[in-house]
């Protein structure tokens, strides 16, 4: 059975969707690839306490990884890309090409970007940690302002201290 809840966060309201106790979606308000609301299931706060707690810790700078049951829906290639996203350490970034190389074929960079764009578990599966080859911010279903916010949240203190502005 699918259920959903709304969670306030520093990046706006998040819609969390669970099915049979596992998180299947976490979407920003205005998310580019957000599924239709009629697919979310009944609205309830029941069963979402661990997610709320871990998101609260993450946004407070106290959590670097999430420990939740996940059941993202996607094809085999998308799941391989999403597994690589989870492996990117907190405070670090990779390029689409870096991930394509890890998959064994540098020419897969655009396919990696497409799979990244379809990630249904924003923040939890950290697609915001993927940048263009030149280090610039490109494409984020939640918007580039949110991507920038999340990257700055995760930026190591020593790097922040080294910036002039």
Partnered with residue 70 across adjacent β-strands are: 23
* Tokens 């279903």 sit on residue: 141
Catalytic residue (choose from 24, 108, 118, 127): 127
Backbone angles phi, psi at 122, to 5 degrees: -50, 145
**Per-residue CA distances from 38 to 30, 34, 35, 157 (Å):** 16, 11, 8, 42
127 catalytic? Reply is yes
Residues catalogued as catalytic: 127
């Amino acid at each position: 059975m699918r259920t959903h809840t709304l969670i306030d966060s520093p990046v706006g309201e998040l819609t969390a969707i669970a099915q049979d106790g596992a998180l299947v979606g976490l979407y920003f308000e205005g998310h580019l690839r957000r599924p239709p609301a009629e697919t979310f299931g009944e609205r309830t706060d029941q069963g979402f306490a661990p997610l709320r707690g871990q998101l609260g810790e993450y946004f407070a700078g106290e959590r670097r990884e999430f420990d939740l049951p996940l059941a993202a829906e996607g094809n085999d290639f998308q799941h391989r890309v999403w597994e690589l996203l989870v492996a990117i350490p907190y405070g670090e970034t990779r390029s689409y090409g870096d991930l394509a190389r890890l998959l064994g074929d540098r020419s897969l960079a655009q396919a990696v970007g497409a799979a990244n764009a379809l990630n249904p578990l924003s923040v939890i599966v950290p697609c915001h940690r993927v940048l263009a080859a030149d280090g610039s911010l490109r494409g984020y279903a939640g918007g580039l302002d949110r991507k920038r916010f999340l990257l700055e949240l995760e930026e190591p203190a020593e790097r922040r201290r080294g910036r002039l502005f």
